[in-house]
Structure 1
Amino acid sequence: MTALTFRPLVAGEEDLFDSLPDPLPELRQASYADGLASGGFHPSRAWVALRDGAVVARAAWVLPPGAQGEPWLERFDAHDPEIGAALLRAAHEAFGLVPPYYAAAPAHWRRRPEIKDLLAVRLGAATRAGLVERGERLRLTWAGAPLPATSGRYRFRPATGDDEINALVARVGRPDVVTGAETALAVAGLDLATDPLPWLRTATWLVADEAGLVAAAGDHCYPLIGYLGLLDDAAREELIAEAVRVLAAGGAREVVADVDSYRVEVLAALERTGFRQIRSRVTLSRSEG
């Protein structure tokens, strides 16, 4: 069998990277060329496994311009877990570090055998290369569904300022929703669960007194619920709906929200408010061993 070659790309090899057909075209993923144009991808962080000049595995790590953290694996395809693992190990050695991997999959992927098998190859390769699965986050989107009527129980108002936002975040402890947490950590070194304000400073922060707060952000990649923290679980759906109303009034036709897959009560509330799952991201990071 012809030997495998593992190497990074050089400038002008966009077609080589894209020569491997995308097995999940239904996912919203930036192309390699678009990633280069935006500055997130770079040839030195895009690697291929070649056999007889043909790509049999590929991987691209992204790091947005000006980011303070380390890159993460965004695009990864391999038909064989051993080849995929060997590609990742070669790149890790060149990088001098083992970046995290956010493995994207369509919503409800475990119910689809062909997608489940594909993810098993990717996750198996990453595990062989020294990564450990840490959890799964789901992305949901609202796209114009009717919103539930308010009960009148809560009064929503703008936050009075940074001090009130930070004080409420400290009281919440574990927020229901933090959207774009991976990007905030890599780009700005911020944990959105404990320090969301610097990342979401331009968002509209709404407070329901003694019930919680929510950040409706309309000027990120997508209009989104950036943060949702509760002091009263009964206010969950109303805070979600109020954030969507604010964004829709500003012209948003779609609103996204990210939530950990095990937070079933939050998922149910989002779905009752008209959100639907569109994507999953399984998080893997370096083994402490």
Structure 2
Amino acid sequence: MTGLVIRPLVAGEESLFESMPDPLPQLRKVGYADGIAGGGYRRENTWVALQAGRVVGRAAWVLPPGSVGVPWLERFDLDAEPEVGAALLRAAHEALGGPRPYYASMPAHWRRRPEVLAVVEAPMAAARLAGLVERGERVRCSWTGTPLPASSGRYTFRPAADPLEINALVARIAEPDVLTGVEVARAVAGVDLATDPLAWLKGPAGNWRIALHAGEPVGLAGTAGDACYPLLAYLGLLDESVRGELLAEAVRVLADGGAREVIADVDAHRVMVVAELERTGFRQLRCRVAFEPAEDPGSGPAAGLGFAVAAGQQD
């Protein structure tokens, strides 16, 4: 790693970050300059690895203004061996006060796509070398107007009456099927979307739909039509057989309100939920593999690793 310089950005260096070609342009992402303008990205939380003046690695941690949590690694690209990326992460972690989560975004079905694997394997290996541990994978799905399945007539649906009714049903649902934006809710507001969704979803109770069978609640769906995208934010069941019809009902409510796209996030291991989303007309957009700090990350200071760590100025 002779000649390698690792440092944070300084004011006016946004173009340096963007000088590295985007290896996965098919993924939706906020531009770095837009992120700086909005306050989520900060130059002192953005690090680059330079070799002969060329950016061979870049990492940007994000934390929206007013958040209560710690920054998470949102952009991490590497055009070098994993050891370079690990050195970049270790240096940044030391400056950030310790290892931080990394949510590695990649196109859907990435494991079956050799051209994607060629891009993502090095940064993922670097994250492991830097002491981060893979903790799970989530799939983002999108509905964009596909005709919805017809109702069987077995279930009826109505808006939730009030927050008390929503909270009572949430307390009975052990593991919701869909939780969209769970990582952001935790980092920004310290909210567990699975157990306290109303602390994050501030809209009226009427945005929630309750599925009933013979007059008894069997499922709950929370929608958000005024977020960055119309969302199926929460879907929880007391009877799994209602899954498909409650999904369709929630999307129908959003579509009737003008939504042309609906976003839903689900854990990748929930294969039956993913399959039901696809039957409802959703398609997979991307995956995010979550890396979290290990209890003992085993990554010491960056000094002595054969490269220079330059102190950046903070604006």
Cα distance in 2, alignment partners of residues 128 and 106 from structure 1: 23
Instruction: Tell me the residue number matched to 2:123.
Output: 122
Instruction: Tell me the residue number matched to 1:224.
Output: 231
Partner-residue secondary structure (3-state), 1:245: helix
In structure 2, runs of 5+ residues without a counterpart are 297-315
Within 5 A, what are the aligned runs for 1:134-149? Answer: 134-149=135-150
Q: Deviations over 1:227-285 (max 9, x none)?
A: 00000101101111111111111111000100000101101110000000010000000
Q: How far is 1:51 from its partner?
A: 1.3
Instruction: Tell me the residue number matched to 1:71.
Output: 71
Counterpart amino acid of residue 160 in structure 1? A
Instruction: Tell me the residue number matched to 2:249.
Output: 242
Q: How far is 1:101 from its partner?
A: 0.2
Within 5 A, what are the aligned runs for 1:1-289? Answer: 2-79=2-79, 80-202=81-203, 204-209=207-212, 210-289=217-296
Q: Deviations over 1:209-233 (max 9, x none)?
A: 3211001110111001000000010
Cα distance in 1, alignment partners of residues 294 and 121 from structure 2: 18
- Matched positions, count: 289
Counterpart amino acid of residue 153 in structure 2? G
Counterpart amino acid of residue 50 in structure 2? L
Identity rate of aligned residues, in percent? 65
Q: How far is 1:30 from its partner?
A: 1.1
Counterpart amino acid of residue 235 in structure 1? V
Counterpart amino acid of residue 167 in structure 2? N
Partner-residue secondary structure (3-state), 2:120: helix
Q: How far is 1:117 from its partner?
A: 2.6
Report the RMSD for the aligned CA atoms in angstroms.
1.0
Counterpart amino acid of residue 96 in structure 2? F
Q: How far is 1:97 from its partner?
A: 1.6
- Judge conservation of contact 1:2–1:52 (CA < 8 Å) in 2: no
- Judge conservation of contact 1:177–1:225 (CA < 8 Å) in 2: yes
Partner-residue secondary structure (3-state), 1:77: strand
Q: How far is 1:200 from its partner?
A: 1.2
Counterpart amino acid of residue 124 in structure 2? L
Counterpart amino acid of residue 97 in structure 1? G
Tell me which moved more, 50-59 or 270-279: 50-59
Displaced runs of 4 or more, over 4 A: none
Cα distance in 2, alignment partners of residues 11 and 218 from structure 1: 36
Give TM-score scaled by structure 1 length.
0.98
Q: Deviations over 1:148-195 (max 9, x none)?
A: 011111111111111111110110110000000011000000111111
Q: How far is 1:201 from its partner?
A: 2.4
Cα distance in 2, alignment partners of residues 160 and 247 from structure 1: 18
Counterpart amino acid of residue 246 in structure 1? V
Partner-residue secondary structure (3-state), 2:197: coil
Q: How far is 1:2 from its partner?
A: 4.5
Counterpart amino acid of residue 164 in structure 2? D
Partner-residue secondary structure (3-state), 2:233: strand
Partner-residue secondary structure (3-state), 1:271: helix
Cα distance in 2, alignment partners of residues 220 and 72 from structure 1: 21
Partner-residue secondary structure (3-state), 2:288: strand
